[in-house]
Amino acid sequence: MNVFATAGMCLQRVLEKNASIKESVLGDDRIKAKGAVYALVCETLKRYHGILYLMRRSGLLRECSSLGQPPSEFLLAVLTYEVLFGKNSSVKRAGMPGKLVLSWRSRLDGIAKRDFPGNEGLVAPAVQQAMEL
């Protein structure tokens, strides 16, 4: 399983309140690239509500739901984070979901720049306050 799929599964566990980030990533012996997965989960989680907004507003989630076996919303969130804010160099290796998100990059980027100029508001206010402490 690639880093993005693993991060998507961990993100799902955290958001469904089944585990903390540390339990989900560091406590799972099957995860090989713990540092990369941990970083992806943390960074995606910081911007999750903004990323979800972008995926809905762009139509990416609607497009994916029409696929035979749609990728999870959590995997798409991780890939969207990586395409918009990360290095994005290895997204192509994430298979069909990675290629799909890459094909939506310009639309996602346009909405992000229009609705979140300077990335203001992309991070939830409560998370922003916690980061400033």
* pLDDT tens by residue, 62-77: 888 777 777 889 999 9
| Predicted local confidence at residue 60, as pLDDT | 92
Q: What is the H or E stretch that residue 87 is in?
A: none
Report, as an integer, the average pLDDT of 3-22: 91
Q: Where are the domains of the chain?
A: 3-132
Distance CA 131, CA 30 (A): 30
* pLDDT tens by residue, 78-114: 999 999 988 766 777 778 888 888 899 999 999 998 8
Distance CA 6, CA 9 (A): 5
Q: What is the largest CA-CA distance in the chain?
A: 45
Distance CA 99, CA 79 (A): 10
